[in-house]
Amino acid sequence: MDVGVGHMETVTAIQHWSERTLSISTTRPDGYAFRPGHYARLSLPEFERPLWRPYSIVSTAAQPQLEFLFSIIPDGKLTSLLGKVEVGAPILIDRNPMGFFLEDSLSPGDTLWLLATGTGVGPYISLLREGQIFAKYRQIYLVYSVRERAELAYDQELQTLQRQNADRFRYLPVVTREPGSGFLSERIPTLIESGRLEAALEVAPLNTERDRVMVCGNPEFTATMRTLLNERQFVPCRRGLAGTMLFEKYW
């Protein structure tokens, strides 16, 4: 229902991945069109004026509902309340999806790297679920870093996707605060600089002629990755101009 400031929709499902990480599914506004990589702004009707915050859309354009992944910020005005909503609760969704984190902004390449920290994995889930990406690249690598293993949202889904596409898709989780857990435990930029990331996947080092890179995560991570990829001659995507690296910028 359009209420003038956005669409009033309903929470239909909640998935808790850890104490602070969860996914929420909602009804979908009529005619709400988006692509993998777009985000929506959400709010709650408790606020006199909407307190909009951006969240990547995890569902695909073909699914009848919308799905969002987020972490609860204890003192966050919105997430502290979103973390308490129940199925059947009302939720506000802004009129139109937004963003430019769209894979086709990249120039054609052989291999696609999807690098994420925390809830930055959200747009990649949408992209992988849609599936068209598998026809565009010979290999796809998803490297997903969290602090604790419990925060690996969609882990089982990603493992299943890897088994189903063993010749095309590799999923590499990284857990930074549980040493000895069997996972790589250093931050993604450190793993790339040392060569341990490529060694774990048994592939050649990142190369701008072959590889295309998408980066989504916290600001420190994206800033470090931008510097690292610049040093390796990767070119940023600009509106109307394809590049070899693409960053989510709504943070």
Q: pTM for the complete prediction?
A: 0.95
Dihedral sign of CA atoms 96, 101, 106, 111 in order? negative
Among the listed ranges 104-108, 166-170, 175-179, 244-248, which one has the minimum average pLDDT value? Answer: 175-179
Domain with CATH 3.40.50.80 in the chain: 103-247
Mean pLDDT for the chain overall: 95
CATH, domain 103-247, list 3.40.50.80, 3.40.50.970, 2.60.40.790, 3.30.230.10: 3.40.50.80
Q: Where are the alpha helices (DSSP H) in 13-117?
A: 79-82
CB atoms within 10 A of CB 204: 10
pLDDT computed for residue 231 by the predictor: 97
- Contact status, residue 198 vs residue 105, Cβ threshold 8 Å: no
CATH topology of domain 7-93: Elongation Factor Tu (Ef-tu); domain 3 (2.40.30)
Domain with CATH 2.40.30.10 in the chain: 7-93
pLDDT digits (tens, 9 = 90+) for 198-236: 999 999 999 999 999 999 999 999 999 999 999 999 999
pLDDT digits (tens, 9 = 90+) for 12-40: 999 999 999 999 999 999 999 999 999 99
pLDDT computed for residue 123 by the predictor: 98
3-state secondary structure of 2: strand
Phi first, then psi: what are they for 151, rounded to 5°? -85, 0
Rounded Cα distance, 197 and 145, in Å: 12
